[in-house]
Amino acid sequence: MDKSISENGETTADGSIRGYDSLHQLLSANLKPELYQEVSRLLLGSNCGRSLEQIVLPDSAKALSSKHDFDLQAVSFSADKEQMRKPRVVRVGLIQNSIALPTTAPFSDQKRGIFEKLKPMIDAAGAAGVNILCLQEAWTMPFAFCTREKKWCEFAEPVNGESTKFLQELAKKYNMVIVSPILERDMDHGEVLWNTAVIIGNNGNIIGKHRKNHIPRVGDFNESTYYMEGDTGHPVFETVFGKIAVNICYGRHHPLNWLAFGLNGAEIVFNPSATVGELSEPMWPVEARNAAIANSYFVGSINRVGTEVFPNAFTSGDGKPQHNDFGHFYGSSYFSSPDASCTPSLSRCRDGLMISDMDLNLCRQYKDKWGFRMTARYEVYADLLGEYIKPDFKPQVVSDPMLHKNSS
């Protein structure tokens, strides 16, 4: 395998391999077909006992991918045929992208450049018949929240602001629901800022919004300089194509956050994110896939791409010297399903559009198969949580009496 890597991929300073869009492609290039099938089954799971099937996309979508140089992948999840219900197949898309201009460019030019970059990618999704499309966290701007410089607040906008108007036209044109994560400026409450996902309906209407529940305070990602924990709870948005929810970025590290969207009836949960390789990459393939299994819904995980360099150096407060970037946003967007299968990921280094057909009947089928909702002990968890939040809480720990005897 080392020989193939040296011929086909370029090893970077951080040990990653450029030239391969995913581990899936790397394995397929270096393993015998029968061994590859078995490795793929173990890594990606099997959907209803079979490998995931590729979707044939229209030439117009593929032409846009080639012309504008973005990764384009399309995979289908199926469900078992039922006697009492028809299949409920929905086509879903994820877009990951790098910024369009250097962070030193005028802010209006940066924002316009991102709009221009995403337009052909959204057009490709529309040409491919995508029903629901989700963009990455804070897609309208560089991910400047950890610089702690307040000038980046200029990118904030109301829920019905410029980016929403831009997407409303496309949503209506393509009969597509679009999830648009932005930096929100709440004009009704003293212009407070929030990290917000706006849900735009397929008729171009605004269905609602969700604000990020969990704010990181780890390494460079100390985002509470700009916004605090959201106040919208765990809403599920019922659209013509299914019930969707948005677990924004750092919320994926909190199992109860995933659980709450499931309890409210979500069938697809999106996780628009901005995270870098050194911090979280080993966790990335695990958390969303586990959430899909545990909560019997589909998950779409989106991460931005590229290294964003800022004009002024900043520090993390973790002992590292000052620096001008957060590290490499490693893309790798993918879908997970309730049956533990998942798609190959998009590129670590390129813009990309991931498309998946998913039969939402699979959600109920796996609730029935595993019985997680029936076997969960919510009343026990509720009692524990009710006690835990009290100031006088004591953990339920039973100590071996010999421990104290020996120590004395």
**CA-CA distance, 167 to 296, in Å (whole number)?**
30
Per the CB < 8 A criterion, the answer to whether 263 and 286 are in contact is no
Is there a contact between 201 and 178 (Cβ–Cβ < 8 Å)?
A: no
CB neighbourhood size of 279 (10 A)? 17
- The type of residue at 355 is I
> Rounded to 10 degrees, what is the CA torsion of 18, 23, 24, 26?
60
Q: Active-site residue among 146, 249, 342, 349?
A: 249
**333-337-341 Cα angle (round to 5):** 85
Which residue is catalytic, options 137, 157, 223, 308? 137
Asked whether the beta carbons of 324 and 311 are under 8 A apart, the reply is yes
Closest by CA position to 273, among listed 200, 214, 355:
214
Q: Which amino acid is it at 360? A: L
Give the whole-angstrom CA distance, residue 130 versus residue 398: 54
The identity of residue 392, as a single letter, is D
Angle at 33 between CA 32 and CA 37, to 5 degrees: 115
d(CA 386, CA 380): 10
Residue 131: CB atoms within 10 A of its CB come to 20
Please give the structure tokens belonging to residue 107. 């802010």
Compute the residue count for the chain: 408
Residues paired with 89 in a beta bridge: 359
Tell me how far apart the alpha carbons of residues 119 and 122 are, in angstroms, rounded to a whole number: 5
Single-letter amino acid, residue 405: K
Strands 206-211 and 192-200, sheet pairing: antiparallel
Decide if 249 is catalytic: yes
Q: Distance between CA 284 and CA 278 in Å, rounded? A: 11
Active site residues: 137, 212, 249
